[in-house]
Amino acid sequence: MLGDMLRSERERQGLSIRDIEKGTSIRALYIESIETGDYSQLPGEVYTKGFIRNYANFLKMDADAMVKRYMEENHPEKVASESEQNAADPQTAQEPAGKAETSQPFSTGSDFRERVEKSHKNQNLLLLAALVLVVAVGAFYLLGSESKPAKTSAPAQTSAQQAKAPTAEQPEKKADAPKKAEGVEVVAKVTDACWTQVKADGKTVYEGTLQKGKTETWKAKEKLVIVAGNAGAVELKINGKDSGKMGAKGQVAEKIYTPEGESSAADQSKKDSKK
């Protein structure tokens, strides 16, 4: 079992559970749960794999192999499904083994594309309606001016100019409207070793252990999801503004950043459930 392998290597190196806790910032309770195979004590699937990676890296073991063994022992059906997908998709099969596990995005972009396409259709309909209205108004004034005596043509022209005046002011009002932020940029500065996973617009762009003193920058158009195994060691800047640490030392935190601001995984789940 995975837990037996980690415990045997720890004991071989003469280390106690407290030594592992101090070196990885993983709580002793979680370390004991991993070694005994009692994963119900851990906070979640993503965090469990993060703890196993940190533990294996600290013991200088193959972290990818340890995570793969965890999946084979606890989710064999998922491993079999991914193997079938890799066999069916040659491009996926050529990717490194360490990325195969994390290549699946949290969600697809089909809903977003449907909303964009619907919005474009609505805009085209509105534009067509406005064009028809302008042609109708122009025809009305043109026919009206031809049917009236020459003396009344000047007032009709003035009336048409007054009717068009509000339309000329509309671009100025639009120029004053606030611009929506374009994308989100996160700069992370690491003050201690920390396992980190980053997904930009549903695609995994980084997964691994950031070392002390490391600075990384990630960007996304719609949504950036960051999971840190040691939240107190990660200081963030969101679109150039200091956001502070992701959480407390040793805490596993998952944060979501969009052009509108920051939200937690729980907030995002509530927002998605309302859609």
List pLDDT tens digits, range 71-89. 999 988 888 887 777 776 6
Average of per-residue pLDDT across 214-236? 90
| Residue 106 pLDDT > 50 | no
For residue 211 the two structure tokens come to 């070392």
Query: Residues 117, 118, 121, CA angle at the centre, nearest 5°?
Result: 90
Q: Is the pLDDT of residue 178 over 60?
A: no
Beta-sheet pairing, 234-238 with 224-228: unpaired
DSSP 217: E
* DSSP state for residue 247 in the 8-state scheme: S
Nearest to 231 by CA among 193, 203, 269: 193
Of 186 and 158, the one with more pLDDT? 186
Element (H, E) at 159: helix 153-176
Give the pLDDT of residue 134.
83
Q: Assess whether pLDDT exceeds 80 at residue 27.
A: yes
CA dihedral (55, 60, 63, 67) in degrees, to 10, reads -50
pLDDT value at position 114? 56
Q: So what's the pLDDT on residue 264?
A: 65
Residue 171 has pLDDT above 80, yes or no: no
- What pLDDT does 263 receive? 74
Report which of 43, 93, 58, 15 is spatially closest to residue 254, judged by C-alpha positions. Answer: 43
Pairing relationship of beta strands 241-245 and 184-190 according to DSSP bridges: unpaired
Mean pLDDT of 180-190: 85
pLDDT, one tens digit per residue, over 144-169 is: 655 555 454 454 455 445 555 555 55
Cα separation, 205 vs 199, in Å, equals 6
Interior/surface letters 127-163, b for 16+ CB within 10 angstroms, e for the rest: eeeeeeeeeeeeeebeeebeeeeeeeeeeeeeebeee
Number of alpha carbons in the 13 Å side-chain half-sphere of residue 205: 15
Q: Cα dist. 40→21, 34, 223 in Å?
A: 19, 10, 30
The residues with which 264 forms a beta bridge, in sequence order, are 255
Question: Does residue 108 have a pLDDT over 60?
Answer: no
What burial class does residue 212 get, using C-beta atoms within 10 Å of its C-beta: 0-12 exposed, 13-18 middle, 19+ buried? exposed
Please give the mean pLDDT across all residues of the chain. 78
- The predicted pLDDT at position 181 comes to 61
Q: What are phi and psi of 200, to 5 degrees?
A: -110, 115
Assess whether pLDDT exceeds 90 at residue 117: no
